[in-house]
Amino acid sequence: MTERLAPGARGAAQGLSHARTRVISGATIGTSSVMFGLLAVFSYFNGLSYDGQLNATTDTIVYVFGIALVPLAAVAAFIGVTRFPPGERVRTQWLLISGAVATFALGDIAWMILELGMGIDPYPSIADVFYVSVYAFFLAAAVVAIGSYRHLVDIKMPVIVASIVAFAATAVVYIALLQPYILPAGTDELSAVGKMVSTIYPLGDVLFMLGPAVALALVIGRLGRGRLAWPWWIVVVGAVVFAVTDSWYSYADWSGIGTTAVLDAGWIGANMLLATAVFVARDVSRY
C-alpha cells in the first residue's frame, strides 16, 4: 500500500529511493504467525475444556498453555523494542506498549500461582495490581503517542471526541453493570477490596483503554495511508478488543450469563496484537 501523491509530487517521486516494495519484515510475519497460531491451538482446546470434554490433567495443561501465551507476547514485544536504536524518542512509546503486555503477563502468572499452585481464590489479589497496571501503561503510551503528533495534526478535537465517547461508555457501564450488580453487592458476596477492583476494571476499560484508543485513531487517521500509522491502527484494534473483552467478562460474570472460551482468546489476542504492533512499528520506519 502506498500513499497516493499529488500530481507534482508524483513526478518528483521518480528516482527517489523510498519506495520499498516490501514493508513488513519476515521477522514480523513469522513472530505474529507463531503467536496467533498458538492462540488458535489454545482456543480449540480451551473450547473443548469449556464444554467439559477434557479430563482434569488435560484441562490443567490447556490452562497453563493459555497462561504462557501472554508472557510469550510480552517477550516478543520487548524483542520488538530492541529493534529500535537506543535513545530514540519513538522507542519510549513502544516500550510503554510492551510494558502493558508485560504487566498483563505478570498478572496471569500471579493468578496461576495463586489458583493452581497455592489453591487459593486469586480474586482479589496481587494479580489485580498487575492487571490494573495495564491501564497505566496503555494510557501513558497513548498520551505520549498522541502528543508526538501535536505539531503535525490537530489533537484537541480527537481528545474532545474521545472524552465524549469514553464518558458515554462510562454511562453504559454504570447502567448495565455498576448500578445493578457491583455497587449493591454485599460484603458476603464481595470484600471492600474486591468491590473496588470490580469497579476499577470496567471503568478502566472505557476510560483508560477505549477512550485513548478512540483519540489515537482520530489522530493517526489524519495520516491517511502513511505507513507510520499502521502500527498504531493495530494498537487501536488491540485496545478495543481488550476493552470489549474485559467489559464483557465483567458483565457475563456478574449477570450470570457465564463466560466463554472466546473471552480468554480476546485477552490473549489483544496482547498479541499489541506485541505485533511493536514489530510493525520498526518495519514501517525502515527506509
Partner 1 sequence: MPEVCDVVRAVLAPFVGNMVADTCVRATAISVGKTSDELTVADLPALEERIRSLLAPIAPADTIDAMVADIKRGVE
Q: Contact residues for partner 1 (CB under 8 A)?
A: 2-6, 8-13, 15-19, 84-85, 88-91, 147-149, 151-153, 222-229, 284-287
Residue 229: CB minimum distance to partner 1, A: 7
Nearer to partner 1, 73 or 145 (CB): 145
**Cβ closer to partner 1: 142 or 265?**
142
Q: Is the dihedral of CA 32, 262, 266, 72 positive or negative?
A: negative
- In the chain, what are the helix, strand and coil shares in percent, each to the nearest 5? 80, 0, 20
Among residues 85 and 119, whose Cβ is nearest to partner 1? 85
Q: How far is the CB of 64 from partner 1 (least distance, A)?
A: 38
Between residues 42 and 149, which has the closer beta carbon with respect to partner 1?
149
Within 13 A of 70's CA, how many CA atoms are on the CB side? 30
Is residue 97 within 8 A of residue 274, CB to CB? The reply is yes
Min CB(283)–partner 1 separation in Å? 11
Q: What DSSP element (H or E) covers 181? A: none
Q: How far is the CB of 3 from partner 1 (least distance, A)?
A: 4
Going by C-alpha positions, the residue among 227, 233, 218, 223 that lies closest to residue 274 is 233
Reading phi first (left if > 0) and then psi (alpha if -120 to 50, else beta), residue 4 is in: beta
